[in-house]
């Protein structure tokens, strides 16, 4: 049975790419019973007599999956952060970074709307750039006059990878994708706001071959809630905490009230930015206070 990859899902059909051809398929009948939903990005075993009538027989194991947008086997998450209008938010950025860390997805940060900044605000963005680069995150800040070099740096991450874009509403994700690949002509948010549908310009997910890699054409998501993350897992999603937490007095230190916590010490010494630590405490509180979810699996 051939092994292909779902590159698009639309109206109950899965479009499977295999050896240069795209096969229109449907999911196997018992997927629903088995609580399986094929996602764009999934590798699958399928049968097909021709390009129009195929059946996805089996989903192969995923290395990760995102809920919004619904994509599996993601390698890179490009977090598009607006420098201004809306203002750069380290809180929102850290939410995206935690989500990507929890899924084992490499984060690349791209700062948009640099051309609108005063030199003072640009300096603040440069300071943030240094802080995140120190943690180990690539953060691309275009030149004020020209973003050509920044775009070249961004697409250098694409070859051989599956990349998804994400970021706050109004950060210009679709505009950025348009400038990377003008022939895609993705509808930017102005069109949908004229129709009164400001939030979701892209209606389905499709993987587009770009720069020897695959890019999801959906602008991704703009709000983050930590529904899948447990409190004990959160600190592992802060690489700057992971680096020093072996020096905490207690194993499994939650970096809250425990004595001898190296993370808190590093915050005091300004080795870890205070805002990163405050975000950690806020996210931890959100996770600890969320209501338990009951689903069918729990009832059995």
* Domain presence at residue 224: no
Query: Is the preceding omega at residue 69 within 30 degrees of 0, hence cis?
Result: yes
144 assigned ligand-binding residue: no
40 in any annotated domain: yes
Question: What is the per-residue pLDDT for 202?
Answer: 45
248 among annotated binding-site residues:
yes
Backbone φ/ψ region at 167: left (φ over 0), alpha (ψ -120 to 50), beta: left
Which residue, of 186, 216, 246, is where some domain finishes? 216
Domain edge (last residue) among 189, 216, 243: 216
220 is in an annotated binding site: no
User: Are residues 170 and 241 both part of a single domain?
Assistant: no
* 155 and 258 assigned to the same domain: no
In 201-216, which positions are buried (b, 16+ CB within 10 angstroms) versus exposed (e)?
A: bbeebbbeebbebbbb
In this structure, the number of other CB atoms found within 10 A of the CB of residue 44 comes to 25
Per-residue pLDDT of the chain (300 residues; tens, 9 = 90+): 999 999 999 888 999 999 999 999 999 888 888 888 999 999 999 999 899 999 999 999 999 998 878 899 999 999 999 998 888 999 999 999 999 999 999 999 999 998 888 888 899 999 999 999 999 999 999 988 888 999 999 999 999 999 999 887 788 888 888 888 877 655 444 444 444 444 444 457 889 999 999 998 776 666 677 888 999 999 999 999 999 999 999 999 999 999 999 999 999 999 999 999 999 999 999 999 987 655 544 444
**Residue 297 located in a structural domain:** no
Q: How do strand 139-140 and strand 43-48 relate by DSSP bridges? A: unpaired
Within this chain, do residues 200 and 94 fall inside the same structural domain, yes or no? yes
As a whole number of Å, the CA-based R_g of the chain is 21
224 is in an annotated binding site: no
**Tens digit of pLDDT for each residue in 53-87?**
999 999 999 999 988 788 999 999 999 999 988 88
Domain match, 212 and 146 both:
yes
- Is 112 one of the annotated binding-site residues? yes
Task: List C-alpha distances in Å: 294 to 45, 47, 187, 297.
Answer: 32, 36, 38, 8
Q: Please state whether the predicted TM-score (pTM) of the whole model is above 0.85.
A: yes
Is 167 marked as binding a ligand? yes
Among residues 174, 193, 216, which one ends one of the domains?
Answer: 216
**Cα dihedral sign, 163-91-95-100:** positive
Same domain, 200 and 150: yes
Unique residue bearing structure tokens 């939650």: 254
Q: Is 237 annotated as a binding residue?
A: no
Residue that is written with structure tokens 């338990």 in the block: 292
Rounded CA gap, 181 and 151, in Å? 10
Return the H-helix or E-strand segment holding 98: helix 90-103
| Residue 86 domain flag | yes
4 annotated among ligand-binding-site residues: no
- Domain membership of residue 295 (yes or no) is no
Instruction: Tell whether 155 is covered by a domain.
Output: yes
Considering its fold, how many domains does the chain have in total?
A: 3
Cβ neighbours of residue 163 closer than 8 Å, sequence gap 6 or more: 74, 75, 76, 77, 78, 157, 213, 214, 215, 216
What's phi and psi for 278, nearest 5 deg? -65, -40
**Could you tell me the CATH number of the domain that includes residue 251?**
1.10.40.50
Q: Give domain status of residue 133, yes or no.
A: yes
Q: What CATH code is carried by the domain that includes residue 52? A: 2.40.50.140
Q: Is 173 annotated as a binding residue?
A: yes
Query: Residues 82, 152: one domain?
Result: yes
Residue with tokens 């020897």: 212
pLDDT of residue 222: 61
Query: Does the annotation flag 279 for ligand binding?
Result: no
Instruction: Say whether 174 counts as a known binding-site residue.
Output: yes
| 172 annotated to bind ligand | yes
Q: Is 255 annotated as a binding residue?
A: yes
The pair phi, psi for residue 167, each rounded to 5°, is 155, 175
CATH number at residue 157: 3.40.50.300
Q: Does residue 66 sit within a domain?
A: no
Tell whether 82 is in a known binding site. Answer: no
Torsion of CA 65, 71, 76, 81, to 10 degrees: -110
Task: Give the range of the structural domain holding residue 14, as residue numbers without chain letter.
Answer: 3-61
Domain shared by 195 and 235, yes or no: no
């Amino acid at each position: 049975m051939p092994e292909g990859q779902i590159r698009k899902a639309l109206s109950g059909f899965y479009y499977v790419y295999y050896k240069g051809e795209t096969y229109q398929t449907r999911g196997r009948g018992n997927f629903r019973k088995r609580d399986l939903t094929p996602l764009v990005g999934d590798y699958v075993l399928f049968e097909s007599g021709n390009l129009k009538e195929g059946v996805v027989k089996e989903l192969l194991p995923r290395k990760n999956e995102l809920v919004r947008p619904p994509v599996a086997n993601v390698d890179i998450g490009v977090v598009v952060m607006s420098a201004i209008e809306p203002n750069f938010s380290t809180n929102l950025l850290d939410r995206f970074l935690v989500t990507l860390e929890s899924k084992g997805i490499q984060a690349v940060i791209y700062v948009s709307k640099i051309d609108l900044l005063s030199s003072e605000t640009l300096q603040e963005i440069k300071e943030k750039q240094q802080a995140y680069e120190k943690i180990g995150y690539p953060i691309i800040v275009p030149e004020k006059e020209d973003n050509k070099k920044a775009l070249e740096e961004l697409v250098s991450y694409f070859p051989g990878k599956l990349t998804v874009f994400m970021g706050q509403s109004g950060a210009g994700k679709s505009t950025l994708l348009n400038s990377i690949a003008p022939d895609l002509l993705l509808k930017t948010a102005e069109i949908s706001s004229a129709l009164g549908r400001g939030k979701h310009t892209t209606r389905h997910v499709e993987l587009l071959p770009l720069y020897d890699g695959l890019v999801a054409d959906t602008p991704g998501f703009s709000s983050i809630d930590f529904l899948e993350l447990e409190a004990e897992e959160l600190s592992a999603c802060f690489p700057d905490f992971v680096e020093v937490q072996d020096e905490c007095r207690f194993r499994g230190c939650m970096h809250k009230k425990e004595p001898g916590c190296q993370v808190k010490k590093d915050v005091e010494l300004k080795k870890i930015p205070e805002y990163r630590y405050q975000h950690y405490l806020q996210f931890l509180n959100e996770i600890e206070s969320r209501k338990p979810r009951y689903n069918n699996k729990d009832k059995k």
